[in-house]
Structure 1
């Protein structure tokens, strides 16, 4: 009677040869495997971060930044002091709102690879507290008695580049969209149909970013670079990659590099991974199952989808059963709606 199985994507669970999924399918071929959706989203995000060299380097720098500031109590104290100094300045120039629970001390959020959406919190906290971050890294770099002197010197240089800020805002944009989906997937009361809708919305939002949001992103990056005096790259200049010969390097502009080689490429990779992980086979099975829900007077009932669900289980329904099923389903739904006790099921 086994009709489904679902867990995470570890190789010993979903391996094609000796995985638990395969062992069960060999004995019960109708036990369709559904990969945990929240875990699939994590894998899609991790893939992009590992496969794109520029994005991978950005996350290494972001993680190093959090570790550098949080590794010593003295640096954390200096970080809090810098924040306290900046709040009155920001209030004076009306950059911050006044009110209860606003402008409290905060720290850089530490990311966790097993919960990839936590990187979104890290990115947002770096953006919000960038000036304090910059001052603490500079203080660490200038204090010869500090550990991680070389790391602080490298980070102080790297984070004050247009390239770092562009990656910061690009990944905030992408992870901001997928972050909402991640939280929704982990809700205990989430229903299947709504999850399918949320996944599709996430894909559409990423596609819309690719179509027409680059100029808005560039404007945000440009505006952010003004206060810390970060030099904005001229998009018409030729782009050169560190460590590669300028003679042999392809003649491409900064605009081409940031738009095509980074912005489009990262979004394409993200969309491809989401389409691969949330494929039609899994979503079709789940959407058909959702039609069996009796909630709200059988509002989800869809005869065509339930017939399709039956076709996915050929051992349970022969040709005669499939011919009779539509008529039986019509009788069934009329019968259920005639009985008041079924109208308020949750």
Structure 2
């Protein structure tokens, strides 16, 4: 699905550039050689990687030998691979506080040691150093903020000035979820969803009935044009229980706002 979305975005950008630049229009789309239309998946990946490399180089050059804070969080993607997202926060030459996404890394597990090794590899790749860190921001998980073996402790062993602060966004999310649960209608909705998921997960027969009903609806929507078909689209997903610290619960803020 992501490849399809990337292709659509790429083609829209290519059409936009061609419509606004005659020099580009002469060598792209219908005017391009048959073997050089730049729409093959491999070519798009190469272009995306080149853009990512150039963007990251600009960020690293902007930091230079200056100091920065590091923000990290790990999660599991759709293919069940553990990923570590790394964000850098620093002050530029004009005195502005800048936050930049530095990269997302695949990690074999979420132990503090594995996360620390992944950060070391990322820093080594871009010429950054642990000694430049002056702040750390993570959630409250033990592998992140553990006093003895957490990620923040491993980094502070190398750099005592890399002070840890609990991620304010994480705290805000937990606070908003707590407040939202005090709302009768929202609380009832989440309790109902939790009960429904529990009932469905407890029976393979109920799951099969749900799967058949979902398949029927997808087929009907495809026939009426309400859904589009394509590689990676309309795939079956598993049920997940609501979690206070899952990013998906952010939509709860909008839900609560609609009642206020």
- What TM-score do the two structures reach when normalised by structure 1? 0.26
Question: Higher strand fraction: Structure 1 or Structure 2?
Answer: 2
Larger Rg, first or second structure (1 or 2): 1
Question: Higher helix fraction: Structure 1 or Structure 2?
Answer: 1
